[in-house]
Structure 1
Amino acid sequence: MSGNKESGSRQPAEASGNTQTTSGPSDTPHTPCVQMRDQALRYRSIHTQLMEMVLTLQQTVEDHIMQLTTRPQQRDLALEEQWHGQAIREQEALLGRLLFQIVSFLPAGAPGDQSVQPPCTSTDSRGDVGGGQPVQANRQTGQMFYQESDFENTVISYDLSNRGIDISALYHLSFRDYDTYQGNKYHKDKNTLGYINLGTSENKLCTDLLAERLSQSDMTYVDEDLLQYTDWRGQPFLRKEVARFLTFYCKTPKPLDPENVVILNGCSAVFSALAMVLCDPGEAFLVPTPAYGGFAFSTHLYAKVKLVPVHLESQVTEANGYPFQLTVDKLEHTLLRAKIEGKKVRGLVLINPQNPLGDVYSQDSMMEYLEFAKKYNLHVIVDEMYMLSVFDEAITFHSVLSMKSLPDPNKTHVIWGASKDFCISGFRFGALYTHNREVASAMSCFGYLHSISGIAQYKLRQLLQDREWIDNIYLPSYHFRLQEAHRYVTRKLKASKVPFLNRGSGLYVWINLKQYLDPCTFEEELLLHRRFLDHKLILSPGKTFMCKEPGWFRLVFAARPHLLRNGARGAGAGAYSEATGGCNEGGSVYPPARGSSQSRSQEVLMSALDLEGWALAWSRDQTVGSSRHECV
C-alpha cells in the first residue's frame, strides 16, 4: 500500500516552456495529499485502539462484578477464598491499567469545543489543502502549514511508519480474540471465569504423550554445536529426517531429496516467505474459500501479496455435487475475473486436508487442479498440515508428493509442520519441500530471520525418526482421541439440531448457525460472535475464513476435557448441531426456517448445551478406553 504511494510520487513533473512559475507551492513547505492520507490512517488507527480499550474495559468490569458476586463454595473454602481474592486483586490491577491507558489517550487540557476532523484527501493545483482543518498563515514567514490539534499532538505517535500502523491494525483485527484469550485463559482452579478457546486450531489432545516422549533420555542430549548458529536452511540432520519422514508418510514414489527441504519457524513463516519469493508486491494468489484466515495476514505482512478468493457455495446443485465443492470451472471463472480487474495472479493455494471444512481431496481432483495451474503457468502451494489428522478409516489421504508424475514439478511446493499432527505448536516448526532449487535457495535466506534453535531441531529429529513410537503408540492414541472428541461434539450438534459438515479429518467442525441470524448478514454473524464472547466462549466466525455466506463458524474440538469443565456458566457452547441426513450422505446443510425472533433463537442456542456435563462425560469415556489406547 505504502509502496504504491511512494512509487507514484517520486517522478518529477516536466515543466512546460510557457508555464508561469510561482514561488508559493514550490518554495514553501506544505502538506501533500500523501501526508494527509497518512494522517487519516493514523486517526483511524487511534479510534480503533480507543474503541478496543473501551470494549475491553467494559468486559473487565463485567468480569469483576461477576467475581465479586460469586461466593466460594463450601468445599475447600479457605483455598477457594484465597484464589477468589487473588482473582479480584488481579482484575482490579487490570482495571487500573485500562483506565490509565484510556485517560492517556484523551486530550490533555484541550478546549471543550475542540473537535477532531480528518485531514483533507486532496490538494488543488496550487498546493492548497482542500477541506479538513483550515490552513493558516505563519505571520513571520508567510509559509502555509497544517494546523494540528492538541488532540493529535497528544495521541498520535509518529514512532510508527504508515506500514507499521497498517501492520498493527491488521494484527489487532486478525488476532483480537486470541489476544483476549491469552490475557484471560480459563483455568479449572485459578480462573473459572476465563475464556474457553474453541476457535484457535490448536491440538491439545495428546500433549501428555508428547510431554512424556520429549522427556526421555534421548531428548536431553546437548552438543556444543547445537548452541551455535545453525544452517539457515535448517540443520542437515533435520532436513535429512524430514525428507525421510515425508517419503514414508506421504508414500512418495522415490525418496525425497534433503536438499529440497527448507526449515523455518512455523508454517506461517514458510508461507509468508513463499509469497515473498514467488510474487512481487500487489500480485496475487488464488485461494478457494472458506480457507485458513492466517493466509491473509501472512501474505500481507512482508510481501504485500493479495489473495483472490475462489468462493465456494454450501448449496448442493447440479454443478455443486457436495457442499463447498471446488471445481476447475470455479477456478477458471475467478482467474478470468481477476485478470479483467487487472490483478496479476501468480499461484494457487490449496489446503489438503482442508481447513476449516475438513474435506480431503481425491487424487483425481488434485490432478485437475494441478493441470489447471500448469495451463495458466501458476505456482501451486499445497498446505498438508493435517495429513496425519485423518481419523475416519474410510478416508484415505493422498499427498501431492505421492503422485508419480506432477504436471509441473518446478512449480509445485508442499508445506508441512508438526504443530497440528503432533500437538507441538509451541515448537514453531514448519517445512517446505520443493523440486525447484531456485525457490529452495531463495527460501533458505529467510532462515536468517526465521530459523529454529539447534536444540529444538535436535529434539524434532529424535521425534520424527522414532517410527516405532509414532506408529504403535502415538498415532493409534491420537486417532482414537480425535474420533472420540468428534463423536461427542457431533452428538451435541445432532441433539441441538444445528447443521454441520460431517467430515473425518482435522481438529474442527464447520457448523451452520444461520438460523440464529435475522437477517442473515455478516453484521449479524459478528453480533452472534460477540454474544459468544460475552459468555467467555471463543469460536471463529466464517468471515475470518473469507466465507461467502454468513452464519458459518469453525468449532475446534481438539481440546482436553478439563479445559471445558465449568465452561458453560449459563452459556452452553451454543455452536453445535448436525445436518439432517449428514452432509457426507448428500443431506441438506440448511437449517429449518426460523419461527421465532432472533433474540429468542439465540437464547435457545445459548442454553442448548451443557459444556460441563459434556466434558465430564467425555472424560469418563476416555478413561474407560485408556487401557487399549493409553488415554488419560
Structure 2
Amino acid sequence: SSSTKRAPPHTPTVTALASSLGGSTRSSSSLSSEDGDAKQLGSKRGKNAVKLLPSYLTDARSVEQYHPEDCPHGALQLSVAENQMLEDLLVPALSIPPKDGFTSDLIYYQQTQGRPQIRSVMSQFLHRTLKLPTPPNPDGLTLGAGCNAVLENLCFCLADAGDGVLIPTPYYAAFEFDLGSRAGLNIIPVEPPATTKFSPDDAGWYYPTSEALETAYQNNPNVKILLLSHPNNPLGVCYPKHVLEDILDWAESREVHIVSDEIYGGSVYGEKGEA
C-alpha cells in the first residue's frame, strides 16, 4: 500500500490597513496567504463609499475646543449644527417616562412607514412648526431614522444609479456621500447665475434661479431630482416666495422631482424671532 503525504493546510491571514489621507480615514482590508498572494476583501462599492466621506468632521474634531478656563485659545466649533444650548431643556424632557408606560405591542413589527400614533403627532408638529395652512395627512407621511437615511431612501426611489441630482451651492458636504455611496447618484452643483443684480455679500446672490438651473440641466444628462435645503445649509438663507415659485415652474417644465430638506425649518433667528 502507498500513502500520499498531505500538504500543510493553507492558512490565510487577514491584514487591515488604515491611513489618514486628507484629514479623513481611508481603510481597506486584504486576505494574504503564505505564498504572498493577496485577495481584497469587501466590495468595490464599499471602497468607493469610503472615498465619498467628508473630511471636515475629522478635521474639526482634531482641533482643541474652546473652554473659557481650560482652553481659552481653543477654537469654537461652527461647522457642525449641534445646538448644545438645548441640553437643559431636552435632557429633562427625554428623561420623563411616558405616561402610558411601555406596552407590549412596541416589541413587535410595526408599519414600515411609522406607527400611526407617531405619524399623527408628527402631522401636528409640522403644521405648527412650519406654519402650514392645514395639517399634512398622517397617512401620507413616512418616517425614517435620520434625515440622511430618509434622503437616501427617497432619492433611491426617484432616480437610478448614474442619474443627476441638482443642488444649489453652497451645500451640505455629506450630500455627496448620502446620495452617491449606495444610490450611485451624480451630484451636480448649481452655481449662481453669471449675471445678477446682487453681490456675494447679499443673500440674493445664492438664490437658485431658473436660468442657473437650466444651465446645469443642459450640461448634464439624466437629471431627475432638484434637492433644496430650506433654510439653506450652511448659509441659513430662506428663499422668498417668488424664488420658490420660479423653481417650481422650472421643475414642472422639465419634469424634475423637487426634494426639500427642511431639517432646520424650526430654526428661529432675528430680532423678531422669525422662523
Q: Which residue of 1 aligns with 2:222?
A: 344
Can you list the C-alpha shifts for 1:582-624, whole angstroms capped at 9, x where unaligned? xxxxxxxxxxxxxxxxxxxxxxxxxxxxxxxxxxxxxxxxxxx
Q: Which residue of 1 aligns with 2:10?
A: none
Q: Which residue of 2 aligns with 1:253?
A: 133
Matches within 5 A, 1:374-453: 374-393=252-271, 397=275
How many residues are matched?
250
Give the distance between the partners of 1:289 and 1:224, measured in 2 at CA. 47
Secondary structure of the 2:83 match is coil
Q: Is the 8 A contact 2:63 2:75 kept in 1?
A: yes
Give the distance between the partners of 2:154 and 2:168, measured in 1 at CA. 18
Q: CA RMSD in A?
A: 3.7
In the TM superposition, residue 195 of structure 1 has moved relative to its aligned partner by: 7.8
Change (3 A) 1:220 1:345: same
Can you list the C-alpha shifts for 1:320-372, whole angstroms capped at 9, x where unaligned? 6733232221111211222xxxx200121111111111111112211111111
In the TM superposition, residue 299 of structure 1 has moved relative to its aligned partner by: 0.6
Structure scoring higher RCO (CA < 8 A, sep ≥ 6) equals: 1
In the TM superposition, residue 284 of structure 1 has moved relative to its aligned partner by: 0.9
Q: Is the 8 A contact 1:247 1:256 kept in 2?
A: yes
Can you list the C-alpha shifts for 1:141-181, whole angstroms capped at 9, x where unaligned? xxxxxxxx95xx4xx6611121121112323xx1x443466
Can you list the C-alpha shifts for 1:483-512, whole angstroms capped at 9, x where unaligned? xxxxxxxxxxxxxxxxxxxxxxxxxxxxxx
Secondary structure of the 1:334 match is helix
Give the distance between the partners of 1:316 and 1:202, measured in 2 at CA. 36
* Unmatched segments (≥5 aa) in structure 1: 1-45, 57-100, 108-148, 398-632
1:361 correspondence with 2:242: no
Give the distance between the partners of 1:310 and 1:184, measured in 2 at CA. 32
Change (3 A) 1:180 1:347: closer
Q: Is the 8 A contact 2:171 2:232 kept in 1?
A: yes
Change (3 A) 1:220 1:291: farther
1:50 correspondence with 2:12: no
Matches within 5 A, 1:286-297: 286-297=166-177
* Unmatched segments (≥5 aa) in structure 2: 1-16
Q: Is the 8 A contact 1:247 1:254 kept in 2?
A: yes
Change (3 A) 1:394 1:186: closer
1:329 correspondence with 2:208: no
Q: Which residue of 1 aligns with 2:192?
A: 312
Give the distance between the partners of 2:268 and 2:157, measured in 1 at CA. 31
Secondary structure of the 1:381 match is strand
Q: Is the 8 A contact 1:272 1:303 kept in 2?
A: yes
Give the distance between the partners of 2:107 and 2:181, measured in 1 at CA. 30
Can you list the C-alpha shifts for 1:212-270, whole angstroms capped at 9, x where unaligned? 11123436822222222322111111011111211222232333111111111101101
1:178 correspondence with 2:53: no
Letter in 2 for 1:310: V
TM-score (norm 1): 0.35
Q: 1 or 2, which has the higher helix percentage?
A: 1
Secondary structure of the 2:227 match is strand
Give the distance between the partners of 1:160 and 1:279, measured in 2 at CA. 26
